[in-house]
Amino acid sequence: MSATPATSVKIVVAGAYAAGKTTFIRSVADGGVVSTETVPSDGSGTKATTTAAMDFGRLAIDEGSGAGRTELLLFGMPGQARFEFMWRILVQGALGYVLLVDASKPETWRETVVIDATLAMGARLPRVVAVNRTGPEQDLHQIAETLGIEPEVPIVVCDPRDRSSALEVLLTLFLEIAGREPPAAGDGVAVTATGGWK
């Protein structure tokens, strides 16, 4: 048993229907992921299952010798609008979020903007925009502009099926969180990004 207690950091993985949220969490989490998959109601047949309530997985970060252990608690949102009530619940206590954007489906971007606005809740939470299914000509900054994402928000290419790609996204988000003012006492945890990834 470790002498130093783990610090927990809650992170939400957000995005429109079928953006790859569940895939992302399954790629990066240590061990089993709790999922709540059910049959999609849209009848489009694009996917066999959709997330009904949330995904949950953990990822331990090795902060180096002597430093405490940090554990990322990863919560994946449901994408279908009928489960929209879960978005506000899941973001409570989160220190940041990943906004997954499917570059090949601009028709999902309007929904993506709604999700982003819902999660931001006035005071902007640290976030990273992770774009998947990009084409050779795709301009990330153009996508950010279309979505109304501020230029200072990191935007990166990601393949949620690929663990190292998903880890890169989380590292970027972790650095964003660490760069902010520490939250007030009792309002979460302060994190440092000095260690390596397990």
Ligand X SMILES: Nc1nc2c(ncn2[C@@H]2O[C@H](COP(=O)(O)OP(=O)(O)OP(=O)(O)O)[C@@H](O)[C@H]2O)c(=O)[nH]1
Residues that bind Mg ion (CB under 5 A): 21-22, 51
21 in contact with ligand X (CB under 6 A)? yes
| Residues in region 37-56 near ligand X by CB under 6 A | 47, 50-51
Least separation in angstroms between residue 17's CB and ligand X is 4
Closest CA to 158 of 12, 16, 23: 23
Token pair of 22 as six digits = 């569940």
Is the CB of residue 93 less than 8 Å from the CB of residue 9?
no
Interaction partner, residue 159 (ligand X, Mg ion, none; CB < 5-8 Å by kind) = ligand X
Closest CA to 21 of 69, 46, 71, 57: 57
Interface residue with ligand X, options 9, 14, 22, 127 (CB under 6 A): 22
Q: Would you give the end-to-end CA distance of the chain in angstroms? A: 17
Footprint on residues 164-183 left by ligand X (CB under 6 A): none
CA distance 76 to 169: 14
User: Does residue 112 touch ligand X according to CB under 6 A?
Assistant: no
Residues 6 or more apart in contact with residue 29 via CB below 8 angstroms: 57, 58, 59, 74
Pick what 160 binds: ligand X, Mg ion, none; C-beta below 5 to 8 Å, kind-dependent: ligand X
Query: Footprint of ligand X on residues 65-94 (CB under 6 A)?
Result: 78-79
Interaction site with ligand X (CB under 6 A): 15, 17-23, 47, 50-51, 78-79, 132-133, 159-161
